[in-house]
Each structure stands twice: as structure tokens, then as C-alpha cells.
Amino acid sequence: MNIVKKEQIPYPYLKKPLSVYTFNNGYKVVLAKKDSQIINISSWIKTGSINENKDNNGVSHFVEHLLFKGTTKYKAGCFDRAMEELGGIINAATWKDYTFYYINIPKEHHKIALEMHSDMIVDALFPKEEIGPEFDPTGKMPEEKRERYVVIEEIKMGEDNNWRKVYKNLNNIMYENHPYKREVIGTKEIIANISQEEIKRYYQTFYSPNNITTIVVGEFDEEEIIELIQKNFKFKDNSNIEKCVCDSKIPELEIKNPKTVYDYADINTGFIMMGALCDSAKNLKETIALDLISTILGDGKSSRLYSELIENPKEPHYYQIDSCHYQFKDGDNFFIEANFDANKKDIVMEELKNHLEKLQNITPEELKKAKKRAKVNFAQESEMVADIADSIGYWATVCNDISLAQKYLNTLETIDCNYLEKIAEKYLSPNKIAVSLLLPKGENNETV
């Protein structure tokens, strides 16, 4: 594996530019210098539920669990124990566009950490005894409950989480066909039945060097890190395997048939999420505009939603409220979420939609405040090695361009109120919004 390109890319609030290395197999390494007792090592794989189909939904996340289950060199549990015995904090996460594995460890242990981290990324074995036997989740449970069953417990945990229920239902009605429609964690049925071969095939298809970026943040000798990486990241040649088939990924940038979906539970309050589809995270100016709108609408006590509906309402019926903007490769999501007095659901829906309409009138003061928040968010992200790595990982994986982080701040200055209003009209008009409600179980529950 040879270096074919080395770039220096400035990054907000970091003293030194990032060093970005590209290797001849397409693999990328990003090194960020930061004074810290902790070093963060992570590898970001450009795969998640975006690369799944109806038969293997959840496999990205299942693979994430199984990467901790042993390699040729280290049996299951060795990595976890070795890292944690050295003071490390390790874990991984899977989302729609990416999966990433990380270690935060006292800096003096960076060599062994990098060696073991690379080993799990390039040589995962997926032992059958660790995956556990396939079974029928509606029938008798197997005696051997291994990782397959752990993931099913994770799915069940999500079923007991009110916000996850509302989000799952909303996400499902926002998309027609795109793989984003499915839950990242998958279904109990698929996880109970997916074979070791299918799992391996997915890993071999997507854990290829050109799909991976390794990020190291902290105090280190750059040359030494690059040498260690070249020595340890020995990628296997999987070019001849039969690749996994993905569903078609035609971006959906507008909800075709906005609906309202209802669900019920043994609860005492109401939960609502309203969602809209927007352009890709790579569309920097629009992404920034949506970040700013989200701040104006629902970030903090002085935001429109909090200030008007919780602090100074005509009639109080909200307990929590905010808005958020999720960035994705094939199109962003914008959400408003609230917890409220369930008897007031019709008023709540009307009021929230009114607030979307009012986005046609954004004041210069609101814009100024939101811009400062956007800048300070970068300052905040620069405080800890893990946050720096997460931020770089996002730009490298979702946007495929780390230089956008610095461009974000420059582009931010070009945005005015008119532009925000235009973007709000384009994506956030009430007739473009899908709605998901979770309400207390009752006698006259609606179903549509």
C-alpha cells in the first residue's frame, strides 16, 4: 500500500491543518494534531443501511457488533479486554451512510491500539459460535443466545423508547423506495435468520480500502503513525467475490405523499415528530441554511418554538420542543419534535404547521444569532479528540470532502435572510411535511 497523495487541509479551530493521505488502493488516512492525554483512533466505513435491501436490512449494524468477535490473531473478547485494560474506551456505531469503530486511549498506548484496531477492520472472522444459531423469532428461542440475540434485545429496547417509535413511523412514511426508509437496526426476523455467509459477503463487499477512512486525533509523531498504518492495514483482495446487491438509491428530495401516522402506547403524554426531505448534505449552502433555520426555529430557550410555545404560550400544552437537521448523502431530513398534552393533538399539529409558514419572515437578528451558534459549534467540536474525529468522519464519509468544514464558515457569511426564506419555502412548507404521532391508548384511537 503506497501513498499517492498527501494534502494539508485547514480545519476550523485546529492549530495545524489536517494531513490527509490517499493510498493507491483508495484507502484514506486523516491525521489531526491536538494537545491531549487521550488519542482517538477511528475507522469510518462508507456503508450503513443505505447499502441494504429488504432481505438483509440490519446487516450493517449486525456486522458492527460482529467485528468485535474475533480475528485470526485475536479471539473474541481479546480486543475489548486489551484496550480496556490499558484505559481505553471503545465502541462503534452504525447509521444510514456510515459505520465507524473507535478507540479513545491514553496516548502512550497508541501503537497497540492502532495495531488491534486495524486487525479487527481488515480480518474479522465472524465465527458461527459467536453469531449464534439461526432461529424463528416467533417460535421457541434457541438455547444458545449469542450476538444475534443481543441485537434482538437491542431492537426490543428501541420498541420501549417512545421517541424511537415516533421516529421509526415517521421515517417509514417519508420515503417511497429509498433504503433510508428502513430502520438501521433492521428487524427481528432478518437478524434471527441471516446466515454467516450473507454477513461475510456484506463485509467483503463494503469493507474495501476505497470505502474506508482512518482518522487519528491527538498528540503523535506523524511519520510513525503512517508507518504503523502501512504495516498494519493489510487489506485482503476481495475483488473476486460475488458482491452484495443493493436496492436502487434514487434520492428522494421531497415527500411524494405526505401523510400523518398514528401509534399508541401505555403513556400519559403525546409525542409528535414532523419531518421533511431536503437536498443532499453535499449541497453545502442549503445544508448551512437548514442548520440556521433549525437554530432559529428550535435550538435553545430563545428559539421561536421554545419561546412562543413553552415560555409564552396563549395556552400552555407543550412540555418539550425542538427542531433538528440530520445530514445524509442522499438527502437531508429536517424535523420538529414535541412532547405535549395528548388532548391537544389537533391544536399542536396546527400550531407547528403555522410555525413552518412563519419561516417566511426571518429577522436579521435571528440570522446573526444562528450564525454565531454555527461558528461556536465548530469551537465546541474542537475541544475533545473524539468530537474532532466525529466531525472529520462526517465530512469525509457523508460529504466525501473534508475541505467543506472550512468552506462551511466562509459560505456561512454569504447567507442572508432572503436565502433562508427561500430554502424554508422550498423544503419546509406545511404541505411537504409528514407527521408521526404517538398517543396514549384510548377507546377512539385513530388509525390513519
Partner 1 sequence: MKQYNKNGINILLKKTPLTPRTSVCLFFRTNKKEKFFGLNSLLARLLLQGTKQYSAKKLALEFEKECIDVTTKAKQDYIKCGSVFLNEDFNLALELIKDLILNSTFEDFEKEVFKLKGEIISDLDSPKFRLTDCFVKNLFKNHPYSSTHTKILNDLDKITKKDVIEAHKQMLEGIKAIVVVGDIKDENKIIEYFSDNFNFMKSNEIKDEVEDIFKNDISKDEVIFLSKNDASQAQILQGWIVDSFNSEMCAKYAVLNNVLGSSGLSSRLFVNLRDKQGLAYTVRSQYETLLHSGIFNMYIGTSPKNIEKSLEGFKIELQKLADIPLDDKELLGAKENISGRLKYFTQNNSQIAAVDGYNFMMNLGLDYNERFMKEIFSITKEDVQQAAKKLLEMPKLITIIAPDKYKIN
Q: Given the complex with partner 1, which of 277 and 293 has the nearer CB atom?
A: 293
Q: Which three cell numbers stand for residue 145?
A: 443466545
Q: How far is the CB of 160 from partner 1 (least distance, A)?
A: 5
Surface-to-core class of residue 238, CB atoms within 10 Å of its CB (0-12 exposed, 13-18 middle, 19+ buried):
middle
- DSSP notation for 246-311: PPP-----S-SS--EEEEEES-SSEEEEEEEE---TT-HHHHHHHHHHHHHHHSSTTSHHIIIIII
Segment 158-163 long-range contacts (CB within 8 Å, at least 24 positions apart) = 158/185, 162/265, 162/267, 162/271, 162/438, 163/271, 163/273, 163/337
From the CB of residue 368, how many other CB atoms can be counted at a distance below 10 Å? Answer: 10
Q: How far is the CB of 58 from partner 1 (least distance, A)?
A: 14
Q: Given the complex with partner 1, which of 51 and 295 has the nearer CB atom?
A: 295
Q: Given the complex with partner 1, which of 244 and 292 has the nearer CB atom?
A: 292
Q: How far is the CB of 313 from partner 1 (least distance, A)?
A: 9
Q: Given the complex with partner 1, which of 162 and 230 has the nearer CB atom?
A: 162
Q: Which of 164, 426, 165, 437 is nearest to 274 (CA)?
A: 437
Packed helices 162-174 and 147-159: angle between N→C axes, nearest 10 degrees: 90
Q: Given the complex with partner 1, which of 3 and 157 has the nearer CB atom?
A: 157
Q: How far is the CB of 220 from partner 1 (least distance, A)?
A: 16
Residue 297, CB-side half-sphere exposure with 13 Å CA sphere: 31
Q: How far is the CB of 244 from partner 1 (least distance, A)?
A: 25
Q: How far is the CB of 207 from partner 1 (least distance, A)?
A: 20
Q: Given the complex with partner 1, which of 76 and 284 has the nearer CB atom?
A: 76
